[in-house]
A and B are shown apart, each in its own frame.
Chain A
Amino acid sequence: MNTVRGDLPVQTGAEPANCEGCGAAVRLDGSGCVNCLLLEGLQTEGQSSSEAFRSVLSEIALPDREWRLGSYEVMEEIGRGGMGVIYRARQRHSRRVVALKRMLSYDAQSRETLARFRREAETAASLDHPNILPIYEVSESSEGVPFFSMKLATGGSLRAATPSLTGKSKECVRLIAKVARALDYAHQRGILHRDLQPGNILLDARGEPMISDFGLAKWLDENSDLTRTLTAFGTPGYIAPEQAEGAAAELTPAADIYSLGAILFNLLAGRPPFVGANALSVIRQAGVTDAPRLRSLAPSLDRDLETILAHCLERDPKRRYESAGDVAEDLDRWLDGRPILARRVLLPMRLWRWSRRNPILAATASGCLLLAAAVAWLLGGTVLNSKPRRNSSEGCCWPFSSVRTCVSIS
């Protein structure tokens, strides 16, 4: 007998198949027979209002602060998404305070789904980088719901810190360059983030960025699944166009690079590249139009920064930076005043930047050049004065023409 359980129907094998009470064969993991649960709704007498329910519930002296999940004491809830909840918790033996994330079990996810969540959490736990939030332990509760503990980031998220970074372009670039290096590290190990956005970049007490939820955001974040696009909550301003269009399995690091560019764009311009009244219009814009140029929104910012962002936000993933490491390299170059790789700058601009980096050498070189020019002028004047002048009607050079384009008009 096949019984339908949870999110996915599975063969139950030796487990009891049909409900002993009603004979129906559809069950939810952890909550029992669906038919019996529906039949409860036909008992119209004895329904409880919100207030009455709350009042009776509070009578039981068992507040959640005494929870234990594995070897952790749950202290308080600090965040919640559509599918996951985050607690501040203390590890009993070490007394270390950590952040603890777990899926909400009442979603009745299938066992296979929970197992996959656990596998991905274990993969993410293998990442070891100073700018990636470390996962300490992957475990599961007594009800079989997997959870993981990780470093508690006390500096909040980049989303919360964004207002304080307004107008500090160098600080923003320095921060995103670190994020780009961490992203590159994960990409080299075959792990994509898939939902990089300001809320997933956390800051430690010193303001150092740490990427959280590598490959896990889709399990925990309300704003990362179907719900994001069917309703107006959540701004999908950081998703690559191909991510909105295609299957998750076909994504490449270029999708994360787009998100990285969109985050920096938001920090510098005060808004993501695309905004709209609802998620649908934002995603549609990203799919059919090029991202706006940075300087169209923030004219005072440097042209090279605009170029770097435009390169990250190319609609075609193949035209973006090849790796997050390349993005980091260009951001570092911009910070150092060196030419960026995304575009070779003109010679005068390169000379100007070089002179800013090497003022003494530049002054000496300038002096030498001036001296040489003066000598050349003096010598040239002497030579010209020693020859008869040509009649101006014999020929001329149009302004800005090369020597080869000189024409005779006589």
Chain B
Amino acid sequence: MEDEKATVFATTRWSMIVAGSDPDGEKQEAQAALAELCRVYWKPVFSFVCRQGWATADAQDLTQDFFVMILKNNWLQHADESRGRFRSFLLKSLQNFLYHADERKHAHKRGGTVEVLSWDAWMAEPPAESALGHLPAERVFDLRWAMTVVEHALRRLAEECEANGRRQVFDVLRNHLTAERGETSYGDLALQLGVAEAVIKKQLHNLRQRYRWLLRSEVAETVEDPADVDAEIRYLCATLVHVAD
């Protein structure tokens, strides 16, 4: 366990990207890692642009252009202040990018920009104003970020279950991963899966342990220093709790 933990947390994607931005860094690997992180965290970017008041079509264009800019240029060199965390880097870069958003929009109207992202309408739905309308765009960004981190960790957990031929176990137990232990009826779950209660307890414990590791590794991918994982999780939790205020 320790070996795996050390391996993943020592070579996080973000630390690789930061290293790659140096003149003698591994450019190709850094570029691939950056593309992969952008692939995972595109929703917060799109939500932020929408929350700034752009119409869906314009927000799509701007999101596309933003990622093109990030991936084409060595944008990282301009983002020294926020290099510690990918989330901060992306938000700061996005804010800078949107300062010139009007010009970019007009360029689109003239057909003067090469676009690269193929959007399907369902992927580009703006956040519903009814629920997030009172939050500033930066908070919407963080909130989407938190959701993406959790979604991705759950997705990896499900994939591991499925790869081991136990997807059904994940489907039944996924609602019981969190610490609300008192609410878990092991008897019902045992009945549902047709196994003994003791088996359910053991499997749920196993699933929780693996989920924790996956979540931490997910967060670790986005920070330069592995020691920042806890701080990043706490920051995201604070964002979520404030939504309820």
Contact = CB atoms under 8 A, between A and B. Distances in A.
Given A26-B240, A57-B161, A60-B195, A108 B151 contact: yes
B22 interface: no
B118 A226 contact: yes
A295 interface: no
Interface of A: 2-4, 7-11, 18, 20-26, 28, 30-44, 46-50, 52-54, 56-67, 77, 85, 104-108, 113, 116, 143, 194, 218-219, 224-232, 236, 239, 243-245, 247-249, 279-280, 283-284, 287-288
Given A26-B240, A39-B179, A49 B1 contact: yes
Contacts of A3: 131
B1 A62 contact: no
Residue of A64, A108, A232 contacting most chain B CB atoms (<10 Å): A64
Contact of A226 (B42, B210, B211): B42
Interface size class of B (residues with CB under 8 A): 35 or more
Nearest to B166: A57
Nearest to A141: B171
Interface stretch (B90-98, B99-107, B198-206): B198-206
B132 interface: yes
Contact of B219 (A21, A41, A59, A63): A41
Contacts of A23: 241, 244
B117 to A, nearest CB: 5
Contact of B203 (A43, A56, A280): A56
Interface string B65-105: 00110011000000000000000000000000000000000
B243 A24 contact: yes
Contacts of B166: 57-58, 60, 62-64
Task: Name which of A26, A59, A143, A239 has the most chain B CB atoms within 10 A of its CB.
Answer: A26
B230 to A, nearest CB: 6
A33 B241 CA distance: 11
A70 to B, nearest CB: 14
Contacts of A225: 118-120, 123
A9 B128 contact: yes
B85 to A, nearest CB: 15
B36 A40 contact: no
A38 B149 contact: yes
A231 B35 contact: yes
Contacts of A39: 178-179, 233, 237
A24 B67 CA distance: 31
Contacts of B117: 226, 229-230, 244
Given A25-B244, A40-B212, A106 B158 contact: yes
A143 B171 contact: yes
5 contacts: A2-B130, A28-B147, A37-B178, A39-B233, A47-B209
Contact of A50 (B4, B122, B130, B170): B4
Contact of B116 (A58, A62, A249, A279): A279
A61 B132 contact: no
A8 B212 contact: no
B114 A31 contact: no
B10 interface: no
Nearest to B70: A230
Nearest to A3: B131
B146 A8 contact: no
